[in-house]
Amino acid sequence: MDKEKILIKNTIPVKDFCNLRESVNFQKLTEQQAEKVLKNTSAVVAVEYEGKYIGLTRILFDFGTDAYITDVIVHPDYQGFGIGGILIENAIDYLKKNAVEGVRIACSLYANPGKEDFYGKFGFEKLPNNKYGYGMLIEI
């Protein structure tokens, strides 16, 4: 992979978003559903390589104190080339650039089992911890 051919985009066509999700067995969305998801996302970091979208992450951010990084996706054909790191680094940079001066942001994400060490490289901590307690989830 020629890393000089990697382009970072802040948008992704709906069809490519759906295709990336399906490539990693994420919940299938119709194009109408995907369009709504993207419209209500604070920011998108997408990686394009040789005209094909190969990676994506979405950021949900209140532009104050809380952010959530979701859909960290790298197409299986491009895993192991550092694309996930590019996505996370760009997501963190976006949050830093859009932070309110003097306010700390609590940024969370849901790590698939076995991926915790990957996110740890970027400063994410496993929950529970003494500062933030246990992570909790409800599926609706």
The tens digit of pLDDT for each residue in 11-47 reads 999 999 999 999 999 999 999 999 999 999 999 999 9
The yes-or-no verdict on residue 129 having pLDDT over 60 is yes
**Where are the extended beta strands (E) located within the chain?**
6-9, 43-49, 52-61, 66-74, 106-109
**Where are the extended beta strands (E) located within 62-105?**
66-74
The yes-or-no verdict on residue 100 having pLDDT over 70 is yes
Q: Residue 105 and residue 128: Cα distance in Å, rounded?
A: 18
Are the C-beta atoms of 53 and 106 separated by less than 8 Å?
A: no
Strands 6-9 and 43-49: antiparallel
Strands 52-61 and 106-109: unpaired
Residue 75: left (phi > 0), alpha (psi -120 to 50), or beta? Answer: beta
Cβ count within 10 A of residue 93: 12
Banded pLDDT at 137 (limits 50, 70, 90): low
User: Which residues fall within 8 angstroms of residue 68, CB to CB, at 6 or more apart?
Assistant: 59, 60, 61, 107, 108, 109
Instruction: Pick the more confident residue, 134 or 9.
Output: 9
| pTM of the shown model | 0.88
What's the pLDDT tens digit per position in 48-85?
999 999 999 999 999 998 999 999 999 999 999 999 99
pLDDT of residue 81: 95
